[in-house]
Amino acid sequence: MNMASVTTVNFITGNANKLREVKAILEPTIKVQSKAVDLEEVQGSVEEVTLAKCRKAAETVGALSIFYASSNTHANFAFNRYKALS
């Protein structure tokens, strides 16, 4: 794969185990780097929480970001929802 064409995303977490799981899902097609960002706890549906946290992460990091919305893997859901920010 041409590394110049690989998309890099920021995975918003301080948890090494969560980072390892997301890398296993997305790499090597998508390069995952970790960013720890202090995000407020938003209440609402999974969609509302995901959008609010994605927006805040994008404002803070200034780049494409994904994260865990709960203890379950939401990497694919969050990755697809980032388009709402563009």
Read off the CATH number of the domain in which 56 is found.
3.90.950.10
**Residue 13 contacts by C-beta under 8 Å, 6 or more apart in sequence?**
19, 34, 36, 67, 68
Range(s) of the domain holding residue 43: 3-85
Number of structural domains found in the chain: 1
- The answer, yes or no, to whether residue 54 has pLDDT greater than 50, is yes
Using the Cα atoms of residue 58, residue 12, residue 28 and residue 77 in order, give the sign of their dihedral: negative
- Per the CB < 8 A criterion, the answer to whether 75 and 86 are in contact is no
Confidence of residue 1 (pLDDT cuts 50, 70, 90): low
Confidence of residue 72 (pLDDT cuts 50, 70, 90): very low
pTM: 0.55
Cα distance between residue 21 and residue 84, in whole Å: 24
Identity at 16, one-letter amino acid code = A
Percent with pLDDT over 70 in the chain? 67
